[in-house]
């Protein structure tokens, strides 16, 4: 079958894919950077530079998995084999809908899930374009379950980690000496966990398949390297005894700031490699259908330019708009210092590793917000801004239906424009 609008469809896929990637950069990169900026470990300008390099590298190097035609297996498209153009309209509508929702959420400073935005959009078009039966509702149910499970788990882990920091370092007679003693152990843990996130979620895309044992051994090696690197960096930090007069832990927090720099780079790489698929998955589906003349291949090879488009879009979104969501997660939920920010980041990474191992679909946004809440709770409920927390929870609930409704509108619009 010939698709008469082939060039138009490819152009729209590229533009909408870039827009969606821009939305991921504007909204989701806050996951990797918010705690580092909010705690004062790095400035917003440094965060944008780090994210630009590591998100882009992660997206291009490790984002190129052979993208399944239908992202996340949410819908069964076999009934569309006679009308592949409907799937093209659906994927274009989903990209545009999710991109617009992310633009609205970023403008309001709401940290929403890019994964859930695209999932909601795909469900929306599937219901009207194919039928209710085409949606794999069991899969949708497990995604809704992860809304509760991932922030809760991350919150509990963050609470435990920060409590251990308080007991071992902050609430002791010699915080400085104990920081030098214990922070390298936290560095090892951070290096190990974030390497595992990258190995389990990222590198399979470039054909580097590790067994579980190889992943763990490699991650332990990375943990030791990061620990040694961190010890060298701590030795170069200049400490000012008089600075502790105003805030008792100023110098101790400088040691944690070194750690935050390491976690920020690693999380940005892991995030780029994982979440770029939300933008390029539907683009790959459109390219595959157009290039095969209307055949619905179950897998579609991903041209390198699509990954460059995704990586570039993420960097653009972060540079232009990312500061709004970074301010919400990093500063408005609870006051963060480098030690608190590190506890949240390590908890989020640990939760992602656990979820990857069990196959639960998880949102990095929900996980990190849950971890920041856990750190706040370790200091008592008064340390949290409950109004901000309520707004964030509300935005999470709205995301799926918002994506679905916008997607349905755009699906009918595209169908009306291109169907004779």
- CA-CA-CA-CA dihedral for 343, 345, 346, 352, to nearest 10: 140
Strands (DSSP E) found in 295-396: 299-300
Nearest to 35 by CA among 313, 378, 388, 365: 365
Nearest-10 crossing angle of helices 277-291, 6-27 = 170
Residues whose CB is less than 8 angstroms from the CB of residue 402 and which lie 6 or more positions away in sequence, other chains included: 101, 104, 117, 120
Q: Which residues of the chain have pLDDT under 50?
A: 1, 66-71
Which residues are 75's β-sheet partners? 135
pTM attached to this predicted model: 0.80
Structure confidence at residue 410 (pLDDT): 92
Q: Residue 300, SS3?
A: strand
The CA distances from residue 72 to 76, 96, 143, 290, in Å, are 11, 18, 11, 21
Alpha carbon distance 326, 40 (integer Å): 12
- Per domain, the residue ranges of the chain are 6-418
- CA-CA-CA-CA dihedral for 66, 72, 77, 78, to nearest 10: 70
Query: How many whole angstroms from its chain centre is CA 385?
Result: 23
Structure confidence at residue 202 (pLDDT): 54
Structure confidence at residue 103 (pLDDT): 92
Regarding beta strands 299-300 and 67-68, do their DSSP bridges make them parallel or antiparallel, or are they unpaired? Answer: antiparallel
């Amino acid at each position: 079958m010939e698709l008469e609008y082939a060039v138009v469809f490819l152009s729209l896929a590229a533009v909408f894919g870039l827009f969606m990637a821009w939305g991921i950069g504007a909204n989701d990169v806050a996951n990797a950077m918010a705690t580092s900026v909010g705690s004062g470990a790095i400035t917003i300008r440094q965060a944008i530079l780090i994210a630009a390099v590591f998100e882009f590298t992660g997206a291009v190097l490790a984002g190129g998995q052979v993208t399944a035609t239908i992202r996340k297996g949410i819908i069964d498209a076999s009934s569309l084999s006679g009308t592949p153009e409907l799937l093209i309209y659906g994927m274009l509508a989903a990209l545009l809908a999710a991109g617009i929702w992310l633009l609205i959420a970023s403008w309001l400073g709401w940290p929403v899930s890019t994964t859930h935005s695209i999932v909601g959009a795909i469900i929306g078009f599937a219901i009207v374009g194919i039928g209710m039966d085409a949606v794999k509702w069991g899969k949708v149910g497990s995604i809704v379950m992860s809304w509760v499970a991932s922030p809760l788990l991350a919150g509990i882990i963050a609470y435990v980690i920060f409590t251990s920091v308080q007991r071992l370092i902050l609430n002791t007679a010699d915080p400085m000496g104990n920081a030098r003693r214990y922070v390298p152990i936290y560095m090892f843990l951070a290096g190990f966990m974030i390497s595992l996130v990258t190995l389990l979620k990222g590198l399979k895309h470039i054909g580097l398949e590790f067994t579980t044992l190889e992943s763990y051994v490699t991650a332990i090696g990375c943990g030791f390297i990061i620990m040694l690197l961190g010890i060298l960096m701590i030795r170069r930090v200049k400490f000012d005894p008089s600075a502790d007069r105003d805030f008792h832990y100023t110098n101790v927090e400088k040691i944690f700031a070194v750690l935050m720099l390491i976690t920020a780079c690693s999380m940005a790489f892991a995030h780029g490699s994982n979440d770029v698929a939300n933008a390029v998955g539907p683009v790959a589906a459109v390219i595959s259908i157009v290039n095969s003349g209307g055949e619905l291949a179950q897998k579609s090879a991903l041209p390198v330019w699509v990954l460059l488009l995704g990586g570039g879009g993420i960097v653009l979104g972060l540079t232009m708009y990312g500061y709004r969501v970074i301010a919400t997660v990093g500063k408005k939920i609870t006051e963060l210092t480098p030690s608190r920010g590190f506890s949240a980041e390590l908890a989020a990474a640990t939760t992602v590793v656990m979820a990857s191992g069990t196959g639960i679909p998880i949102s990095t946004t929900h996980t990190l917000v849950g971890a920041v809440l856990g750190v706040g709770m370790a200091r008592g409920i008064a340390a949290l801004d409950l109004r901000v927390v309520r707004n964030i929870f509300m935005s999470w609930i709205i995301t799926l239906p918002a994506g679905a409704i916008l997607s349905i509108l755009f699906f009918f619009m595209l169908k009306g424009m291109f169907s004779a």
